[in-house]
Amino acid sequence: MKIYHNPRCAKSRQTLALLHDHNVATEIVLYLVDVPDALEMKDLLLKLGMTPLELIRKNEASWKENYKGKNLSDDQVIEAMIAHPKLIERPIVIKDTQAVLGRPPENVLKLL
């Protein structure tokens, strides 16, 4: 499995710990450093079954200051996530063609 992880996020740490508790081999992607490109974001969204706007952390300052209240296309929302990766809700866990958001962390049990 692969986890898009932010070590400073409690939910992300809890999700990673849950995977380790179940002895799941996990590839960790530090998405704030290794920012997904547009193609990767579209693939993640497809696997999650979500729209770009549903994956946005709307309480982040960069969203409120730059994007809130604007009528953005899906591509523009994806561009915002790439420009400001903190906007990407986390953690995202992927197994093959499926993905879940680790909020709550127990969501990842659906992939086991």
- The pLDDT tens digits of the residues spanning 59-103 come to 999 999 999 999 999 999 999 999 999 999 999 999 999 999 999
Q: Are 100 and 91 in contact (CB under 8 A)?
A: no
User: Would you kindly state where each structural domain of the chain is located, as residue ranges?
Assistant: 2-111
Catalytic option among 3, 9, 78, 93? 9
HEC per residue, the chain: CEEEECCCCHHHHHHHHHHHHCCCCCEEEECCCCCCCHHHHHHHHHHHCCCCHHHECCCCHHHHHHCCCCCCCHHHHHHHHHHCHHHECCCEEEECCEEEECCCHHHHHHHC
Annotated catalytic, 9? yes
Percent share of the chain, pLDDT over 90: 100
Report the CATH number of the 2-111 domain: 3.40.30.10
Q: Cα–Cα distance between 111 and 100 in angstroms, integer?
A: 8
The pLDDT of residue 35 is 97
State the pTM of this model. 0.94
